[in-house]
Each structure stands twice: as C-alpha cells, then as structure tokens.
Amino acid sequence: MKHIYFYSTFALLLTNSLSAVIPAVTIQISPTSATLRVGQTRDFNTYVANAADKTVAWFVNNIEGGSAALGTIDKDGIYKPPITIPTANVIVIKVVPTADKTKSSTATVTLENPIPTFTKLTPNQINQGLAYSIDVEGTNFLPTSKVLWDDTPITTTFVSSTKLTIKGLINAIPTGGHATLAVSNPNPGAAKSSTRTLSILPPIVVTVTPDNRSQRLGSNLDFNVSVTNNADKTVDWLVNSIKGGDATVGKIDANGLYTPPTVLPANPKLVIMAVSRVDPKATDTTNLSLLNPTPTVTSVTPNPAKIGPIALTIDGTGFAKGATAEFGGANLVVTWQSATRLTATGTIGAQTAGLARLTIHNPEPGASSAKAFFVPVKPNKELLTYSNAARFLEQATWGPTPASIAHLQEIGIDAWFSEQFATTPSTFPDPLSMGQGLSALQTAFLKNALTGNDQLRQRVAFALGQICVVSGNKTDNYHEMVGYQRMLYTGAFGNYRQLMRDVTLSPTMGVFLDMVNNDKADPRKNIVPNENYARELLQLFTIGLFELNTDGTRKVDFLNQPISTYSETTVKEFAKVFTGWTFPSEPGFQSKWKNDAYYFGDMVPFEEHHEPSAKTLLGGQILPPGQTAAQDMTAALDNIFKHANLAPFVSTRLIQHLTVSNPSAAYVGRVAAAFNGPVRGDLKAVVKAILTDVEAATPNPSNGHLREPVLFSTTLLRNLNVNVTGEPSLARETEAMGQKLLFPASVFNYYSPFYKIIGTAVTAPEYQILNASTALARANFVYHALNGRVGGVAINLITFEELAAYPDQLVDAISNTFLRGQMPAGMKTSILAAINGVTDNRTRARNALYLAGVSSQYQVER
Amino acid sequence: MNIRHPFLRSRRDFMRFGCRTISTVGAAAAFGQLGMLPAFAQAPPTTEDYKALVCIFLFGGSDSNNVIVPVGAGYNAYQTVRQNLAIPQASLLPVTTKANQTYGLHPSLAALAPFYNTDKRLALVANVGTLVSPTTKAEFQTGAKPVPINLFSHSDQQQQWQNAAPRGGQTTGWGGRIADRIQLMNAPSNFPASVGITGNALQLIGATTQPSAINGNITLEGADHTPASDARNAALDQILSLESGVTLIQAASGALKGAIDVAKLVDGAVNSSTPAITAQFPTTELGNQMAQVAKIIQVRKALGMKRQIFFC
C-alpha cells in the first residue's frame, strides 16, 4: 500500500503538468518480469495514468484473481504461486484499469521449485544387512524430490512436503561407517538441501542374561537383554518359540519377567528367546530348566487326625505331580489333585507330643520338601483324659509312650488290665557261658523294660525283686541270676504264697542268704543252723518287725510301744526249718549233699541234713519233729502266709514301689483287703487295687515318689518314644545315679522303705540314694540321652527341633511329653527364657527338653 | 555298702559273734570317752590347722572276733567257740600291746600290722558295740537291763552304729552332730564339713549341717559356658528355685542345687594350683573311696576347710 501511495502522488504530479491535453488512459505494471519459487510471494505494483479511477483488476494467465493451479493474486497485486508448478512454468500477470478496460499491462513470472530443507533423519543409524526405512523430514519436498545418498539420487518416496521415505539394504559398511544424505528438488529452480549424516552400524546383537538358569516353579525370574548397534532396544520375548509364552511353559512379559507355569511341563527344559523388534534376525536364546516348586502346606483336613486309617486332604502351594507325603513317620499314598491340593491315605499311630509331622516331598527335578506341618493326633476314643492315662502308665509301666497313652485312652483301664494279664511275658536269653557277667542280664532287663509289651508284669516283678532281694554282689554271673529274674516275671501275676516258695527254694537266694547247704545243728561243734534266710524272710520279705493293723499302722502295747512280731527265738526256730537244702543237681550228675553250684531249678532236700527237732513258729504253731525238709518248709511258709501282717506289709511295699511313698492308712487298708481276699495273696488283685485306687490317681502335695534311677531312665526314654537299636547301655547310667541294676547294696535293697527326707517326717525311700553325686548323674543322664550318648537306643527329636521356631508350642509339646501337659507356669517361663536365649533350633529343643527332664517336677512322679 | 574284702566275712558272722559279745560301751560314748572330740576340735600348736576324721563303716561286714585273736593261753578258748571258723594260730600276725600282751591279727591284715608294731600309729578299740547302758551277760540274759531295739535286726543295728541311739528316736548321726559343733571352724567356706563318699549316710546327718555326698565325678555335664549352656543353666537355676509347696519336689531340687554348688566349689578347688595326688591307691572299691577322700583333702586349702569328716 505504501508503494501504491507513492506512485499515486507521482501520477498526480504528472497529471497536473499535462492538464492541457486529455490523454488516453495508460497503465503500467511493475515489475514486468519476476522469478518466483513456490512458497514465495511477489507484490506487483501498477500505475494508472490519466484516469481518476485508479482501481485495477488483476489476472493470472487471463484469469482474474488467478487459480489454484496458476497461483492467485489479490486486489493489491500480491501473487502467490501454486503449490505445484504448472506444466508451463511461465505465467502472465496482467493488470487492467477499471477506467479503461481495453488497456492492460502484463508481467511474466517464471515459477521455480522451492529449495528443500532437511531437518531430521529417522532413524539416523541403520545396520549392515538390515533393510532400512528412513524417514527424511524437512520442508519444501516435492513428489519429484530425491534423496541424495552420498550425492547420488536414490529411490525416494514422497510422503508429504515435509516428509520423504527411503528404503533399502546395506550389505557392506562404507569407509567411515556413514553416508551423507541430502534432498534435491528438480528444475525448474533445481535446488539441494543441506546434508545429514546417516550412521551405518554393524548388525544388531541381542544378548540375554542370565544364562542357563534353573528356576523353581512358584517364583519369577527376571531376564535382562542388551541390544547393541541400534537405538531401538526393544525386543520380543519368546518361550519355546511362543511369543510371550503361555500357561503351559510359563509366561514372559515385555520386560523379560518370566512367570513359570503352576505345573511342571512335560519337558521342563525350556528355551527363552529375545528377538530385536527392529531385526528379527537379531536374537539370543538361553536355556531354562524348570524345577519343581518348594511345596508348602497351609491346612490339613481332618485336623486333629484320629489314630488308625486316615484320608487327608492337604492344601497348600507348589505341590508337584509325583509328590510324596510322610505323616507321623510313615508314608502315605498320595493322589495329586492340583498344585494346591493333594489327597492322601494311610495309617497314623500315636505321636510324640501328640503331634504328627506332615512333610510333603516334591520329586526331581529340584526335589524339595515342605516345612513340617503339625497335625494333632488323637485316639479314637478318650475313655480317660490324656493326663490321667499318662499318670496311670507312669505308675503301671516303665513310662508312658505316645502309643501306650493313646491305647489306654481307647480301651480304658479294665480292658488294659485284662490285656496286660494276658500278655506273653518277656524272656531272658539263656546264658552264653558260665563266665558271662551280669551286665548282659542288666541289658536284657532294660531292653525288656524299654520294649516289652508286658509292662505291668515287669514293673511288678521289679517291685517284688526289691522286696525279696538278691544281689549280684554275691552271684555276679549271668547264669547265677537269670533264673531268679525269670521267677520274678512269672511270679508277678501269681500268688504271693507261690512266690514265697519259689524265692525260698531259689538257688540264687540260697547263696545270697546262706540257705544253700545250710546244715542241721551240730551241738558238738557249737554250730547252729544259719539264721540269715529265716531272719530276712520274716523281717523283709513277709511280715516285718512290728505287728501291724490291716491298714499298715503299727499296733501298740499298753505303753504305747510297738509290738515285736517275733523274737530272736522265733528266728532260730525258722532257721531250723530251712536246713537240709542244696543246689539242684546239674543234669547228668548224681545228686549229693552239697551239690556243685547249679542255678537252674529249685534247691533239693537231703533229709539227713535237715534239722529233725520240732519247731515253734509264729503264733505258737509247732511243727512236729521228724518232718521232711519239704514238709517243714511248706508248713512254715503257710504259717507266715496266714499272718495278719502279710497283707499290709506287702501291700505297703508294693504301693511305695508303684505309686506313692507315703500311702494313707486308708489306701493301705484298701489294698490289704484286696490282698486278703477273695483269693488271699492274689497279686493281680493287689496290683489292680494299688493302681486303681483314688489315692494313686489324685495328686496331693504329700504323695508321689522320686523316680528311682532305673525307672527314671526308662521313663525318660519311653516318653521320647525310644527306639531300641541295640543293647541299651543304661546300666552304667543308673549305677551312676545310685542304682546299680541287679546289685542292690545288700538284702536291704537300694534304699530303706522307711527312709525319710532329712529334716522332715516325709517317708521317701528313693531319696536315700539321692545325693550330690547321684543328683548330678541324673541331670547328666538327661544330657546324655538328648545328645545321643546312650548306646543302643535312638530317640528322634525332630518334632521338637521343628517346633523350636515356635517357643510356646515347643514348651507345650514338652509339657505333654514329660509332664502330662501340666508344666507349672513358672517353669514354662524359665524354659521359654532359655529357648529365646539361643537361635539354633537343635540347641533350643535340647535345652528345653533338658530343663524339663532335669526338673524336680519330672524327677518326682506325682 | 557291702565291701568285699578278704578278711571280712559275711554279715552273719558279725551278727552271730560280734553283737553277742558286746561288753562295753556305745560307739558315740566311746568317741567321747576316748577324748577324741576335744582332740578333733583343738588346734594343734604348730603347722597347718587341719584335721580330718575318716570313718570306714563296714556295715557289719567284719567278723571282729577274727580281726584280733588271742594267742597263747587264750587260743584254745577261742578255737573251742569258733570251731571251723577259727584261724590257725600259726597264720596269725603277732602284735604286742603296750602292756606286753600278745594278740594275733588276721593274716589278711599284713599291711596294717607295721602301723601298729613299728610306726605306732594304729590304735585298736576292741569289744565295742551298741548298748543302752553297761550290761552284764547275766543282765542281758534275764532282761534286767534295757537293750537296743531290734538288737538282731541287721538294718536297725547299722542305724544304731551311725546314730548312737540304741533306743531309736534319733534322726541325726554322731558324725553329723560333731559337724554341727565344728562347722564354724570352716567359716567362711560354704563347703560342707561332712562328706559321704558312698552316699547318704545317717552317720553324717546333723541337726544344723547337711553332709554332701561325693562319689567319683561331681560335674554337671554340658556346663561349658557357651551361650547355649549359660542360657540353659540360668533357667535350670530358676527352675530349681521354684517353690512348689511339695516336699518331695523341694527336696529333689535342693539336692541338685546343692550338688551344683558343691561341684562348682570342687571344680574351682581342683583348678587351683594345688598339685595332684601322686600316691597310688588300690583299685578296689575301698581303695577308690580312699582316693576320693584324699583328693578332697588335697584341695582343702582351696576349699577353705579346717575340719572335715568323711564317711565311707
């Protein structure tokens, strides 16, 4: 517009100078020629002379205002070329004045292609041998534009005025590793852009890590990939050639995170592959071996389980096909249902601490086991509580085992007695040689105690053997003692009268208390019959020193003094009875007075060595002179057997050995009544009365007894479900504890039935052998047992070790095992502190078991 | 206890011939009359103030009538009574008293004879037994004097020898009653004044002092001062201190607690710089017991002991 104004002023001046003539209207365009590139504009000016009307019309190739094909021009003369140059690239701009449309002025415009600009190369790197497609971006691109590759035009695809595409494949990397690219537009006005550099790299390399891994089902594995020689690092992941994997072989996501399948595929060896997104030939593979998962058990049905046949449903995770199950030490038959469920059948027995360990084992590849899952195991019937059953068995057996507790709970006490009375007695092997010592008999005794089914018989026999005492101090060979032990086993469920006879005629007793070869009196030589057997038979084996009431209390005379049962004279009279007996004759030898020592069978009489005079027995009964040795013996034992002391005396001793050290008079009275009838001396009735008495079943502060060492050691081992694997080396332990089995110090046994705890009125026989040395030996025995230092036995503590991670449960399990579930709270607190003081489960379990085993609450059975 | 020793015969012999010839005084009375208690309590004028009384009780296992046998004129009477039990005169070992009387020791006592004859360090107190009061044979036969209860009961007689209470009713032993009187001499040591080598002996039970019993190893195993054993033993200490209200339990706890204390004292003493005993003891039961006594006496200073009573 400014230009137009300028020319208008100049025209006005011209008009004024030519005012005298009325000239014709003229028009002039300026410039009259121009060269113009597409995209540029050109402003044409015009000058109309000799007319007031200065307005004009503009034409492009005679088309007013132009067209899209020819370019357009507006009323101010601004021409804008078309986007595409027309075939004839010279066009005519014409201007016609409104004042005289016959006049015109023209200018020629030569149109040229635009100059391309090159702004972006995508990608700017390509790889050798890899087909490429490169976007070339910039401006002023024409369908006829070409990309110049190192100044050489190549096939170019026009996308838009701002984008071209080139494609191709480079087989060899040029020197320098790059090409120079530019864009050229053709004539008219041919022009070339600036250049860009294209890097030409070696082929893409894909590397997957980690390599050759094993992976358990149940946890994911993150693979990494490196892609070199290309800015595009993206890859596709394949499992066994399946992109992204699938449910069978596991899945892998875009980031390489591999999730194994829930079930091991038939072939667990997999190939993981990463493929470059930009070059399918650029791949890497790695082998992946799938392993079975580590199983876990989260719940079991039924819970608790009942002893006997079982069908379990086991839920959890990671169960592999072929998984096996162990339950309470026995294998189950397992059916695999899914990775989260197994079903299994089998049989479960009673368990240590009442807890069965369930362990699931997955097979190879990658065999592994689940952490133990504990399932309480209960008997099918509970006719007695666990605690009451355990207590009863503490008194009636060599210590409760998990199985014996459950069995008693299931069948009840009456059936249990019937079963015990009918059980075949344990046996002692025959001696191997005459020189075989007693340690073999100790071992056989302890083995029977730990494993025999005739538990009650053995306990009663042990008690009877501590009433009618013999000792290895005098007969220290196996063959000299085995017969006596067999006799006690047999006698335990017999009649006390029979036992008196068998004890009297036992060669072992004959040697121990000098009845064997005991000759009649010889006044000439001042020799009288040996009184030892007669004295101890009366004092220790049958009636005792003082007259007793039926309830075991002492009768007193008018001076309130105890009344002697018999006098020294009575002993002398009985001593005469027990004369004239010698060893049985060894088979094949002629029997004679003073047979060689032989211990199998009863002693045999020789009448000429039997004291022939009359004997005055208890109650003034007189045996006539001249009876045979056997007649006298039978009559004398009958005489003792009918004495009123016998029932309370023997009953009290048996009560002390089996149940409590301080029985009440009423308790003794009830048991003595059982002794007295209906069949006098029936030991089955006596034992049953002792063990079923309310006083035996009800703890009170003054009853109970210290477990004597033999019983303590067997009880501890049986509580822990001992497995006898050889010859139990327990005898040396009990000896250190003050009870050398089969070797009581004298006929007075290991301890006196009257021994009282020092400074108290509490009778406690077993405390006579509890002192500093033996108390430590008892603790040390527990230590030995828990640390595998008792030979010939094995105890499995794995249940306790696995519970050690849960201190409260461990303490409860130990309370059940040792203390019938009745561990005092203070003791629990102390044991918990010890457990928490260490981290190792093995030590935790052993420390806790040790503390409970050593505690007086366990040492004393109440 | 039943020590088997060549010269000891069965308890029967003791009872038949020993007890029936009791003629003088009870054991405790003998101890007092012979002035032993004052001597035991008295400090010697010089050297270390330490005395130990070592008692060996054979529980009636010695045929005392065959320990010292009259020889010469007295032998025939002996032989007449003993008959097949008599020891041939020729085999007896002669010993001569201060009063120039000759007796014969049992041939098995050859090792003891020089202590009497040469070293003059052996005293024999003969004809001692339990009696309520001096009693003649006639008084005994007519029942004119009270006699010990259950005079022919072996177990009762064993007790009476230990408690010196022939009429019963005594829960302490004469050794224990001595220990009650001498305990203060050992202060401040906590080690018990009386120690049974074979077990709990009535003889050592006092009214205010309790004996310990040490036989062989006296060690609480596994007490190795690892964190595990320390945790265990700390808890054990607590458990043994729990008050149960039950006599049986308290007594068992007390026994082990006392044992652990004694074990620590003995352990400490044995680990002191006291040299070990070099003397050889016979490997018999009695020999082993004597060795045990000797070991404890050896560490007496470390234990802080001045008076001790041992019972075997």
Q: For A98-153, what is each residue's pLDDT tens digit?
A: 999 999 999 999 999 999 999 999 999 899 999 999 999 999 999 899 999 999 99
What pLDDT, on a 0 to 100 scale, did the predictor assign at position B83?
85
In terms of C-beta density within 10 A (0-12 exposed, 13-18 middle, 19 or more buried), how is residue B276 classed?
exposed
In terms of C-beta density within 10 A (0-12 exposed, 13-18 middle, 19 or more buried), how is residue A101 classed?
exposed
Residue A833's closest chain B neighbor by CA?
B235
Domains of chain A and CATH, by start: 2-112 (2.60.40.10), 117-201 (2.60.40.10), 205-291 (2.60.40.10), 296-378 (2.60.40.10), 495-643 (no CATH), 705-861 (no CATH)
Distance of CA A110 to the CA centre of its chain: 95
Per the DSSP assignment, residues forming a β-bridge with A246 are A250
C-alpha dihedral, A303 to A308 to A312 to A314, nearest 10°: 60
Residue A840's closest chain B neighbor by CA?
B228
Q: Which residues of A732-743 are buried (b: 16+ CB within 10 A; e: fewer)?
A: bbbbbbbbbbbb
The mean pLDDT value of chain B amounts to 82
CB contact under 8 A, A772 and B212: yes
User: H/E element holding A341?
Assistant: strand A341-348
* Residue B264 sits at the chain A interface (C-beta within 8 Å): no
| A324-350 confidence digits (pLDDT tens) | 999 998 999 999 999 999 999 999 999
CB contact under 8 A, A824 and B242: yes
Tell me which chain B residues have a C-beta less than 8 angstroms from the C-beta of A827.
239, 242
Ranges of each domain in chain B:
1-45+62-170, 171-312
Of A531, A784, A860, the CB nearest to B249: A860
Tell me which chain B residues have a C-beta less than 8 angstroms from the C-beta of A705.
248
Q: Provide mean pLDDT across the span B97-119.
A: 90
Query: How many Cβ atoms from other residues are within 10 Å of residue A4's Cβ?
Result: 15
CA–CA dist B139, B135 (Å, integer): 6
Q: What is the radius of gyration, based on Cα positions, of chain A?
A: 58
Per the DSSP assignment, residues forming a β-bridge with A85 are none
- Secondary structure of A337-396 as H, E, C letters: EECCEEEEEEEECCCHHHEEEEEEEECCCCCEECCCEEEEEECCCCCCCHHHHHHHHHHH
Whether the ipTM is more than 0.90: the answer is: no
Residue B16 has pLDDT above 90, yes or no: no
Of A756, A774, A830, the CB nearest to B235: A830
- Secondary structure of A24-61 as H, E, C letters: CCEEEEECCEEEEEECECEECEEEEECCCCCCEEEEEC
Residue that has been written with the tokens 């053709």 in this structure: A186
For residues B13 and B216, which has the higher predicted lDDT (pLDDT)?
B216
* Residue B276 sits at the chain A interface (C-beta within 8 Å): no
Q: B53: closest CA among B32, B33, B35, B36?
A: B36
Q: Provide mean pLDDT across the span B66-87.
A: 90
In terms of C-beta density within 10 A (0-12 exposed, 13-18 middle, 19 or more buried), how is residue A160 classed?
exposed
CA–CA dist A283, A781 (Å, integer): 69
Q: A71: closest CA among A102, A48, A37?
A: A37
Tell me which chain A residues have a C-beta less than 8 angstroms from the C-beta of B156.
545
Residue B42 has pLDDT above 80, yes or no: no
Residue B1 has pLDDT above 70, yes or no: no
CA–CA dist B7, A283 (Å, integer): 102
Residue A189 has pLDDT above 60, yes or no: yes
Residue A842 has pLDDT above 90, yes or no: yes
First vs last Cα of chain A: how many Å apart? 127
Residues 6 or more apart whose CB falls under 8 angstroms from that of A734 comprise: A709, A710, A713, A740, A741
Of B153, B218, B250, the CB nearest to A772: B218
Smallest Cα distance from B52 to chain A, Å: 20
Least confidently predicted of A8-22, A337-351, A470-484: A8-22
Residue A731 has pLDDT above 80, yes or no: yes
Angle B220-B226-B229 (CA atoms, 0-180°, nearest 5)?
A: 45
Q: Provide mean pLDDT across the span A428-435.
A: 95
For residues B72 and A710, which has the higher predicted lDDT (pLDDT)?
A710
CA–CA dist A485, A428 (Å, integer): 8
Smallest Cα distance from B236 to chain A, Å: 6
Residue A10 has pLDDT above 80, yes or no: no
Cβ A360 vs Cβ A315: under 8 Å: no
* Residue B214 sits at the chain A interface (C-beta within 8 Å): yes
Cβ A673 vs Cβ A713: under 8 Å: no
DSSP helix/strand/coil, A435: coil
| A685-713 confidence digits (pLDDT tens) | 999 999 999 999 987 777 899 999 999 99
What pLDDT, on a 0 to 100 scale, did the predictor assign at position B43?
62
CA–CA dist A689, A671 (Å, integer): 5
Strand pairing class (A42-43; A78-80): antiparallel
Longest CA–CA span in chain A (Å) reads 209
Strand pairing class (A125-127; A196-201): parallel
For residues B46 and B220, which has the higher predicted lDDT (pLDDT)?
B220
Measured between alpha carbons, how far is residue A767 from residues A292, B59, B292 in Å? 59, 20, 22
| A225-281 confidence digits (pLDDT tens) | 999 998 889 999 999 999 999 999 999 999 999 999 999 999 999 999 999 998 899
Longest CA–CA span in chain B (Å) reads 75
CA–CA dist A503, A496 (Å, integer): 10
CB contact under 8 A, B215 and A762: no
Residue B214's closest chain A neighbor by CA?
A773
Structure tokens belonging to residue A777: 């030996």
CA–CA dist A222, A240 (Å, integer): 17
Residue B24 has pLDDT above 50, yes or no: no
Residue A73 DSSP symbol: E
User: Model pTM greater than 0.80?
Assistant: no
Cβ A31 vs Cβ A44: under 8 Å: yes
In terms of C-beta density within 10 A (0-12 exposed, 13-18 middle, 19 or more buried), how is residue B4 classed?
exposed
Cβ A354 vs Cβ A408: under 8 Å: no
Query: How many Cβ atoms from other residues are within 10 Å of residue B221's Cβ?
Result: 17
Smallest Cα distance from A814 to chain B, Å: 15
DSSP helix/strand/coil, B77: helix
Residues of chain B above pLDDT 70, percent: 85
Residue B15 has pLDDT above 70, yes or no: no
Residue B14's closest chain A neighbor by CA?
A532
Structure tokens belonging to residue A252: 């892998």
Q: A750: closest CA among B210, B259, B1?
A: B1
Distance of CA B8 to the CA centre of its chain: 16
CA–CA dist A501, B81 (Å, integer): 34
Residues of chain A above pLDDT 90, percent: 89
Angle A218-A219-A221 (CA atoms, 0-180°, nearest 5)?
A: 140
Count of H-run helices and E-run strands, chain B: 12, 7
The mean pLDDT value of chain A amounts to 94
Q: Of B212, B232, B296, B312, which to mutate for an interface test with A (greatest number of A Cβ within 10 Å)? A: B232
CA–CA dist A6, A14 (Å, integer): 13
DSSP helix/strand/coil, A211: coil
What pLDDT, on a 0 to 100 scale, did the predictor assign at position B41?
67
- Chain B 164-193, residues with CB within 8 Å of chain A CB atoms: 171
Strand pairing class (A581-582; A604-605): antiparallel
Cβ A264 vs Cβ A227: under 8 Å: no
Residue A708 DSSP symbol: P
CB contact under 8 A, A527 and B212: no
* Residue B213 sits at the chain A interface (C-beta within 8 Å): yes
Residue B14 DSSP symbol: I
Cβ B272 vs Cβ B151: under 8 Å: no
Tell me which chain A residues have a C-beta less than 8 angstroms from the C-beta of B232.
834, 847, 850-851
What pLDDT, on a 0 to 100 scale, did the predictor assign at position B275?
82
DSSP helix/strand/coil, A271: strand
- Chain B 223-262, residues with CB within 8 Å of chain A CB atoms: 227-228, 230-232, 234-236, 238-240, 242, 244-253, 255-256, 258-260, 262
What pLDDT, on a 0 to 100 scale, did the predictor assign at position B61?
83
Residue A194 has pLDDT above 90, yes or no: yes
Residue B32 has pLDDT above 60, yes or no: no
Cβ B237 vs Cβ A851: under 8 Å: no
- Chain B 190-209, residues with CB within 8 Å of chain A CB atoms: 196, 199-200, 205
CB contact under 8 A, A775 and B255: yes
CB contact under 8 A, B239 and A855: yes
| A752-775 confidence digits (pLDDT tens) | 999 999 888 899 999 999 999 999
Phi-psi region of B181 (alpha: psi -120 to 50; beta: other; left: phi over 0): alpha
Residue that has been written with the tokens 């040792």 in this structure: A818
Residue A582 has pLDDT above 80, yes or no: yes
CA–CA dist A753, A546 (Å, integer): 14
* Residue B152 sits at the chain A interface (C-beta within 8 Å): yes
